[in-house]
């Protein structure tokens, strides 16, 4: 795993804002967001639907661009980089777990997990992907395509794909939102176990207070603003 730079926060957000044009003029999605996350910490972003949680997570990953403010990942100003630079930073430092899994339908479970390793040019991609799928209990499903996997299995493939590169920072957007309660609990247990084993920083969006309580810190958003930030 690539280490974070000593003494530098894993994430440093300053004055972050996002507005978009709509029929009535300008819609404020996020406004004046400030916070830092230290390396190795776990943080939950919570709030009602429409509060800006997923938009904020997308900005932290550089998947969207802000209207104001900055995001520094391990000291690097994300939006001082061009699109290729942001993609390179994601490749080296970020793992992302989507609510809707975002597996490639034409690739097997093994090939989906190999993909980020291959994009980085890492050696031994197949062996590393196989080992990670075995760790998440899918050693017998390597050659299965997503359509032949249950929702819980697909999410475990998504977790394996996110963790296989051992990223210093993992971002997860409602990682159990598409799963039943029992499967969701198993996936969350697995995600936190892998996170502890790799010593990475975890930021997740959730509407579930029980999941948020597993994190060391919680930030509550309301109408695009932070209304509570603490342990």
Neighbours of 203 (CB within 10 A): 24
What are the distances in angstroms from CA 220 to CA 45, 175, 215, 227?
6, 18, 13, 6
Residue 1 has pLDDT above 70, yes or no: no
Task: Answer whether residue 27 shows pLDDT above 70.
Answer: yes
Rg over CA atoms, the chain: 17
How much is the average pLDDT of 77-83? Answer: 96
The pTM score is 0.88
Classify the phi-psi angles of 108: left when phi > 0, otherwise alpha if psi is within -120 to 50, otherwise beta: beta
The structure tokens listed for 211 are 């999941």
- The confidence score (pLDDT) of residue 71 equals 97
In the chain, the percentage of residues whose pLDDT exceeds 70 is 97
């Amino acid at each position: 795993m690539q280490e974070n730079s000593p003494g530098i926060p894993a994430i440093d957000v300053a004055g972050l804002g996002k507005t978009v044009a709509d029929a009535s003029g300008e819609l404020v999605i996020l406004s004046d967001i400030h916070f830092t996350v230290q390396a190795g910490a776990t943080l939950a972003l919570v709030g009602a639907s429409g509060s800006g949680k997923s938009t904020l997570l997308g900005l932290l990953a550089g998947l969207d661009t802000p209207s104001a403010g900055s995001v520094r990942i391990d000291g690097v100003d994300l939006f001082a980089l061009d699109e290729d630079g942001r993609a390179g930073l994601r490749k080296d430092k970020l793992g992302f777990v989507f609510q809707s899994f975002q597996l490639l339908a034409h690739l097997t479970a093994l090939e989906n997990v190999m993909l980020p390793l291959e994009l980085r040019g890492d050696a031994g991609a197949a062996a590393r992907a196989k080992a990670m799928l075995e760790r998440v209990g899918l050693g017998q499903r390597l050659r299965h395509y997503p359509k032949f996997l249950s929702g819980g299995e697909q999410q475990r493939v998504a977790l394996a794909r996110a963790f296989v590169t051992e990223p210093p920072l993992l971002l997860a957007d409602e990682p159990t939102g598409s799963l039943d309660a029992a499967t969701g609990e198993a996936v969350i247990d697995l995600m936190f176990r892998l996170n502890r084993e790799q010593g990475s920083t975890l930021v997740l969006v959730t509407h579930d207070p029980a999941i948020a309580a597993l994190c060391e810190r919680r930030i509550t958003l309301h109408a695009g603003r932070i209304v509570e930030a603490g342990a």
